[in-house]
Every structure is written in structure tokens, then in C-alpha cells.
Amino acid sequence: MIKHFTSSACKFLTLVLVFALTSFTSHAQEISKDAAAISAGQALFNANCKACHRVHQKLVGPALAGVYDRTPSIDWIKSFVKNSSAVIASGDAYAVKLYNDNNKTQMTAFSSFKDEDIMNILAYVKSETDKGPEKQPDAGVQPAGGAQAAAGEGAPSAYLNVILVGMIIILILLLVVLGFLVTALKRFLDQKTLSEEDKDIVEPAVTTGSIFRSRGFVFVVVFITAALGFKAVINGLYSVGVQQGYAPKQPIAFSHKIHAGQYEIDCKYCHIGVMKNKSATIPSVNICMNCHNQIKSGTITGEAEIGKIVKAYETKKPIEWVRIHNLPDLAYFNHAQHVNVAGVECQTCHGPIETMDVVRQHSLLTMGWCIDCHRKTDVNTKGNAYYDNLVEIHNKTKKTPMKVEDIGGLECSKCHY
């Protein structure tokens, strides 16, 4: 009877397991693992989707890792990518919930995409999903804010924590050893007959009060307080002049989330200096007016904020934007060198600007931050004849790819006038 029961339970469990496994992987099975499909997909993804999606990170749209497992079907993805508003309008429950969960942000329609294009993109997304998130993210592409601690100048406070914990452990160990000594001594004394006077010394009436007044206790408290105070002071000193997270209020409520995110206006359309010059430049009122002589009212702020642009244009008074990123005069930083020559993405240094209503400083902008990246980053030598010689010399002496530090990226004079 029992045997019969266990064997049928076994069958049932196997069935459930098989069912769970197949339903879990069935969508993903259709997706190609072919390298050509993956690289075609990557190109399409970078050109069309990257403005709003990453594989492992939420941007304007959801992170796409494993999307083929959570959406109703592969066909659903095809229709959604070709025309998401049609799918949402059809009342599809998954699509409607997704749309609402994403603040009703409209995804671009890719009506000219073939099924094959979308399958290639999924092949790329799946290969990235299987790889998992990058272990060692470079200076920039991390969720905003605190996660930055791993980079550069976060180290001192990490060391201090370790030292502090180490000291506390040593203290506790000392107390334990002392405790052992005391019990051992007591045992030893117990075996002897003591005079009344000696007994008083060996077995004092231990009260809570006497513990609090004991030298050891006072020492421990003073020590911990002093160590914490010391740590706070050091932390304070290290963050002098560091403005990570700085996000001042601007004279006009300009939103990168609307312009660069929702409407996908290219960063270079407004920050015109970025490919040729040291400075990226803040757009003049004229650039705003290219669009805002037509668009006079915003969905969120109505005419109030756009009205200020028109007023500045008519009175020829420049808008007084508050500067956010600001290196001291002693340091030299050039945008064209990083964006144009090296091909570093804006987001690597500035974070997901296209999701920010108010721009905030994403990176530390300390010397350690610059140096850290110059140590880690390969020089982009592709199609740049200037580097051919250097690469040849480099490859003769070293096995690792040529990093920025190998072309002088750590020399003081490169960054300091």
C-alpha cells in the first residue's frame, strides 16, 4: 500500500518537474544561439533599443534579461516591438500592466522590423542574459548613486571599516582570554584554604554597578567612541570638494527624461561641442527654439516653463543654468578626446542622464576616478592609423591589450597644466 503510494507520488512529482521545466524553457528554445544572429542582433539593439533598454538594468524601459520567459509568447514580443500601442490598445492584460508599471511611457514602434530582426535581437538578449550581469562594471554604467563606492576614492572608508571591525574583534578576544584566566585562577584558589581577608579580595560582591565602573569597561567605551569619531573625521576629509549626487534646481524645469529619453533627441543635438571640443557646452536658447517655437505647452508644466524659454529668446537674455559638473582649474579634461577618439559613452561618466528629470552628478570626478579608468580601459585603436605604430611596439613588450596608462594616461602633465 505504502509502496504503491510512494511510486505514484514519484510519478506525479516527475510529471510536475517535467512540466515545469518545459514550460520554463519552451519560449527560449526558439531563440538562436548562432554567433551571426547574435552579432546582427547586437547591432540592431545598439542602434534602436539601447536608448531605452539595457539587458541587465532598467532604463526608460524594463531590463530585457529573460524577457522571452516572462512575456506571453515570442509572437507577443514580435507584435509588441512592431507596434506596442496597438497591443496595449487591444486590452492585452500583460501589455496594459507593463505600460502602467512603466509610468505609461510609450515605446517607439518599429513597424519596419522583420520577424527575423526581432529574433536576432532576442538572440543577442539571450546570450547576454546567459552571460549574466558584468562582474566588474566600469566607472559609469551602474544604477545611480551609492553603488559608486566601489570606485576610486571609496577605498579609504572601506579600509577603515575593516580596521575598526578588526580592532573590535581583538578587544573581544582579549576579554575572553582574560575571562579564562580569571576562572582558572579562581579554581586554583578554591582548592586552597584562604583567610577571611583574602576571601574578600578573591570573591568581591560583583554588582552591575561595579562592572560599569570597572576600568576595562570604561576603556572599551572610550575606545569605541574615539574610533567612530576618528572614522567620521577621515570620511569628512575625503569628501571635501566631492560633489557626487549634486543636483541643483535649474531656472527652467528642463527634463532629460522627456527630451533625451522619451523623444530620443541625440545628446549631440544640444551639446554641440562634445565631438570637437574640450567642453560639451550647454545649448543656447536658439537650439531650444528650433522646437519650442512650435511646441508652446508641455504635458506636465503647461505653458509656464516653456514660456520662460520664449521670454529669454525675445529679451535676448541667456538662461542662467546652474553648472553641475565642475573640475578645479588645475585639471584638464577634454570631451572630444574621450567621446570622439576613445568612443566612451556619455553614460559611462554621466550615468543614465536620459532617465533624469533633474541632472545629478553621477561620478566622483576625483583624480582617483580618472586614474582608475585609465588603468582599466583599453585604448580604442580601431581605424585610427595614429595608433598602428604604438600598438606594434606595445605588443612586442606586453601581452595585455594597450591601456590608457600605456600611452601616458597616468602622467601628471597630461591632466595638469
How many residues belong to the chain? 417
- Residue closer to ligand HEC (CB basis): 164 or 305: 305
Nearest 5°: the CA angle 401, 150, 61 is 90
Amino acid at 288: C
Cβ-closest position to ligand HEC: 298
Q: Give 297's Cβ-side CA count (13 Å radius).
A: 3
Q: Is 385 in the site for ligand HEC (CB under 6 A)?
A: no
Chain Cα centroid distance, residue 25:
30
Q: % helix / strand / coil in the chain, to the nearest 5?
A: 60, 0, 40
- Residue closer to ligand HEC (CB basis): 62 or 220: 62
Q: What is the pattern of x (binds ligand HEC, CB under 6 A) and - over residues 155-194? A: ----------------------------------------
**Smallest distance, ligand HEC to C-beta of residue 27, A:** 12
- Residue closer to ligand HEC (CB basis): 85 or 225: 85
Q: What is the pattern of x (binds ligand HEC, CB under 6 A) and - over residues 226-245? A: ---------------x----
- Residue closer to ligand HEC (CB basis): 50 or 231: 50
**Smallest distance, ligand HEC to C-beta of residue 389, A:** 14
Q: Is 281 in the site for ligand HEC (CB under 6 A)?
A: yes
Q: What is the pattern of x (binds ligand HEC, CB under 6 A) and - over residues 391-410? A: -------------x--xxxx
- Residue closer to ligand HEC (CB basis): 39 or 301: 301
- The radius of gyration of the chain's CA atoms, rounded to the nearest angstrom, is 32
**Smallest distance, ligand HEC to C-beta of residue 39, A:** 16
Q: What is the pattern of x (binds ligand HEC, CB under 6 A) and - over residues 364-383? A: -xxx-xxx-xx--x-xx---
- Calpha distance 405→374 (Å, rounded): 6
- Residue closer to ligand HEC (CB basis): 33 or 311: 311
* Cα dist from 97 to 105, 117, 262, 355, whole Å: 12, 26, 19, 21
**Smallest distance, ligand HEC to C-beta of residue 310, A:** 10
Please, what is the angle between helix 215-238 and helix 155-190, to 10°?
A: 170
- Residue closer to ligand HEC (CB basis): 39 or 380: 380
Q: Is 99 in the site for ligand HEC (CB under 6 A)?
A: yes
95, 30, 27, 87: which is closest to 62 by C-alpha?
Answer: 95
Q: Which of residues 55-74 bind ligand HEC (CB under 6 A)?
A: 60-62, 67, 70-71
Task: Identify the sign of the CA torsion 256, 259, 261, 266.
Answer: negative
Q: Which of residues 309-348 bind ligand HEC (CB under 6 A)?
A: 309, 321, 323-328, 331-333, 335, 337-339, 341-342, 344, 346, 348
85, 67, 172, 207: which is closest to 123 by C-alpha?
Answer: 67
362, 361, 370: which is closest to 330 by C-alpha?
Answer: 370
